[in-house]
Amino acid sequence: MNLFPLWNSLRIALIATVIIFFLGVFLAYLVKKCPKVLKGIIDVVLTLPLVLPPTVCGYLLILVFGPNHPVGAFLQTMGIQFFMDWKGGILASVMVAFPLMYRTTRGAFESFDENLASAGKTLGLSNFYIFWRIRMPACKNGIIAGLVLAFARALGEYGATSMLIGYNQYRTATISTTVAYAWNNNDTQTALVWVLINLFISAIVLVLINIFENNNKKGAKL
Amino acid sequence: MSLYVDIKKDFGSFKLNVKFETEGGVTSILGASGTGKSMTLKCIAGIEKPDSGIIVLNGRTLFDSSKKINLPPQKRHVGYMFQNYALFPNMTVRQNIMCGMHNQGKEVDKESKLLAIAKKLKIDHLLKHRPHQISGGQAQRVALARILVNDPEIILLDEPFSALDEHLRNRLQIEMKENLNEFNKEALLVTHNRDEAYVLSNETVILSEGDSLMQGKTKEIFIKPIYLETAIITGCKNFAPCIKVDDHTIDIPDWGVKFHIDEVVNEDINYVGLRAHEFEVNEKENKNNIKVLEVIEQPFEIQVRFKYENQIDDSEELLWTLKKDSKPFVSPKHLGIKSNHILLLKK
């Protein structure tokens, strides 16, 4: 059995989650400090992929990164290709899963007690230290929840991914595109195997979330 | 040791316009809620930026809008104790205090400094605890330790006792006073509680609707509040507009009484204030007939709501409080008040 889709799905989801982490934390922090009107506009733009059909997201990505479009063509001359390449899956996953991370992180940042940051400043702590050692740990729960959601979403991404990178069982296939391809070709046996694999991974993710939440509850009770 | 502050900040509906100078010891800024007290402290610490003005600490300019000087909080050497103490929740008490020494010398020195201060403030048994595991009073001591090891030039205290239980408050006020004395730290205390200001500070600045109304020795301000606002904030319960009749007489139309004043009454006096505990049944001075409206028994005192006999109907009733004793309370027909207990005020 060709296990490439499993490996490809995992690497796409993991790399996308890392990118989403930094992008989400950075933008959530930036937006929180913006004046109100600007905040509203940026918020809409960053959240839009959450409500758009994934196929629309995929189409938008093709418009930018497709080979016949300026950015895609330029990148191709540099030897970087996203269209019909597994790396495109990262783009699609980042775009679709990013709003989940962004919104939960922004919520966590907004409930952060700014007095903690101010106290750190008056004690002479650097802004870098305050951000990574005080603000981030205090918002840990929200950020981790956002990351888990984003990872789960990235792992299950189908619409945008199939638009941008298609299906090639040795180069671009993911678990979800494999299920669709197998089903379309009356290979119900293969489709069922991959459905079971997907169920297994999702169950593990949920169990991890529960363990994490229970640990938190214990911590809060002390 | 001195702090000079003269700043303005416009919030649209509210304008902050504060000017005062401290000369060591503890200075309190006394004002009702929402009069810009905390904002003033935040401007001094550099957390907020005033629109214009100047802040100088021990000859060092922290902020000067005309010279475009605005030091970041990290460079101001100003300790700030927040109302909720702002202990870092993800760190232990030890780590919290260590944060105050992050840029100081060797680990060994830090360690001994930590142990010394923890012992002094009686928190040495809590070093491994996290902030949510300790009580409010302990959290305050940890916050103070964190500030003290940072060795600031002045400590700003933002309503430090308001989050504490009533029975703890008084003890911790005294404790705070002793600690500030012991470590020889100048402090600026912001509070709406007159008792706190009275117990802790030698100088008081009165803040009213964003303006620094007056500054003076704390005890003198309580004896001679001068302004109506100051009288109210220092706990005076009874006040009414008054008219000067002659050099030694004032007329209070609302209450339908005239008071004799020993000292010469100034021309600009237009309000009178009477503290609730200064009335006496057997006092001959300024004796007037009263109608008792309501008697409320408190655990240790009796509160009497009354009106003067000829008081106009829609004016507010007065409050008289007296200590409870073994004798049952009998409503008197008249009450007097000594001339030197009558507060002559300006509005």
Q: What tokens appear for B214 in the block? A: 């007056």
A160-164, B30-34, B128-132: least confident range: B30-34
B187 contact residues in A (CB cutoff 8 A): none
pLDDT digits (tens, 9 = 90+) for A38-53: 999 999 999 999 999 9
pLDDT confidence band for B142 (50 / 70 / 90): very high
For B53, the 3-state DSSP assignment is: strand
Instruction: Say what the pTM is.
Output: 0.85
The yes-or-no verdict on residue A222 having pLDDT over 60 is: no
Residue of A nearest to B78 (CA): A122
Calculate how close chain A gets to B135, using CA atoms only, in Å.
13
Residues 147-166 of B with CB under 8 A from A: 147, 150, 152
pLDDT digits (tens, 9 = 90+) for B5-30: 999 999 888 899 999 999 889 999 99
Q: What tokens appear for A59 in the block? A: 């189409």
Tell me the CA end-to-end span of chain A in Å, nearest whole number.
50
Residue to mutate among A114, A115, A122, with most B CBs inside 10 A, is A122
CB atoms within 10 A of CB B189: 28
Residue of A nearest to B79 (CA): A122
Classify the C-alpha dihedral B116-B119-B124-B125 as positive or negative.
positive
Q: What is the pLDDT of residue A210?
A: 82
Find out whether B206 and B215 touch, Cβ atoms under 8 Å: yes
Could you tell me which CATH class the domain A4-174 is placed in? mainly alpha
Q: What tokens appear for B337 in the block? A: 């008040």
Q: Where are the domains of chain B?
A: 3-226, 236-345
Question: Are A120 and B88 within 8 A, CB to CB?
Answer: yes
Distance between CA A90 and CA A85 in Å, rounded?
10
pLDDT confidence band for B44 (50 / 70 / 90): very high
- Angle, helices B136-149 vs B107-120, to 10°: value is 140
Among B5, B109, B13, B114, smallest CA distance to B50 is for: B5
Fill in the DSSP letter of residue A131. I
Pairing status of strand B203-208 against strand B301-308: unpaired
| Average confidence (pLDDT) over B302-329 | 90
CA B7 to chain centre: 20
The yes-or-no verdict on residue B168 having pLDDT over 80 is: yes
Q: What is the pLDDT of residue A217?
A: 63
Question: Are B147 and A121 within 8 A, CB to CB?
Answer: no
Calculate how close chain A gets to B86, using CA atoms only, in Å.
5
Q: Where are the domains of chain A?
A: 4-174
| Average confidence (pLDDT) over B281-298 | 92
Question: Are B146 and A123 within 8 A, CB to CB?
Answer: yes
Q: What is the pLDDT of residue B326?
A: 77
B103 contact residues in A (CB cutoff 8 A): 124
Average pLDDT of the residues of chain B: 92
The yes-or-no verdict on residue A219 having pLDDT over 60 is: no
Cα–Cα–Cα angle for B13, B14, B20, nearest 5°? 165
Q: Does B73 touch chain A (CB under 8 A)?
A: yes
Share of chain B above pLDDT 90, in %: 80
pLDDT confidence band for A221 (50 / 70 / 90): very low
Find out whether B202 and B25 touch, Cβ atoms under 8 Å: yes
pLDDT confidence band for B104 (50 / 70 / 90): confident
Find out whether B335 and B216 touch, Cβ atoms under 8 Å: no
pLDDT confidence band for A115 (50 / 70 / 90): very high
Q: Which residues of A touch B (CB under 8 A)?
A: 113, 115-116, 118-126, 129, 133-134, 137-138, 140, 222
The yes-or-no verdict on residue A218 having pLDDT over 70 is: no
Q: What is the pLDDT of residue B236?
A: 93
| Average confidence (pLDDT) over B281-288 | 91
| Average confidence (pLDDT) over B194-222 | 92
A24-28, A145-149, B151-155: least confident range: A145-149
Find out whether B272 and B342 touch, Cβ atoms under 8 Å: yes
Q: Does B86 touch chain A (CB under 8 A)?
A: yes
pLDDT confidence band for A69 (50 / 70 / 90): confident
Q: Is B251 exposed, middle or buried (0-12, 13-18, 19+ CB in 10 A)?
A: middle
pLDDT confidence band for B102 (50 / 70 / 90): confident
Classify the C-alpha dihedral B35-B345-B198-B165 as positive or negative.
negative
A138 contact residues in B (CB cutoff 8 A): 88-90
The yes-or-no verdict on residue B1 having pLDDT over 90 is: no
Question: Are A134 and B88 within 8 A, CB to CB?
Answer: yes
Question: Are A124 and B84 within 8 A, CB to CB?
Answer: no
Fill in the DSSP letter of residue B346. B
Find out whether B20 and B215 touch, Cβ atoms under 8 Å: yes
Distance between CA A184 and CA A178 in Å, rounded?
10
Could you tell me which CATH class the domain B3-226 is placed in? alpha beta
CB atoms within 10 A of CB B172: 18
Find out whether B245 and B224 touch, Cβ atoms under 8 Å: no
| Average confidence (pLDDT) over B185-189 | 94
B102 contact residues in A (CB cutoff 8 A): 123-125, 129
Task: Provide the CB-side half-sphere exposure for B38 (13 A, CA).
Answer: 13
Distance between CA B315 and CA A183 in Å, rounded?
87
B75 contact residues in A (CB cutoff 8 A): 124
The yes-or-no verdict on residue A126 having pLDDT over 80 is: yes
pLDDT digits (tens, 9 = 90+) for A168-198: 989 999 999 999 999 999 999 999 999 999 9
Number of residues in chain B: 347
Find out whether A86 and A12 touch, Cβ atoms under 8 Å: yes
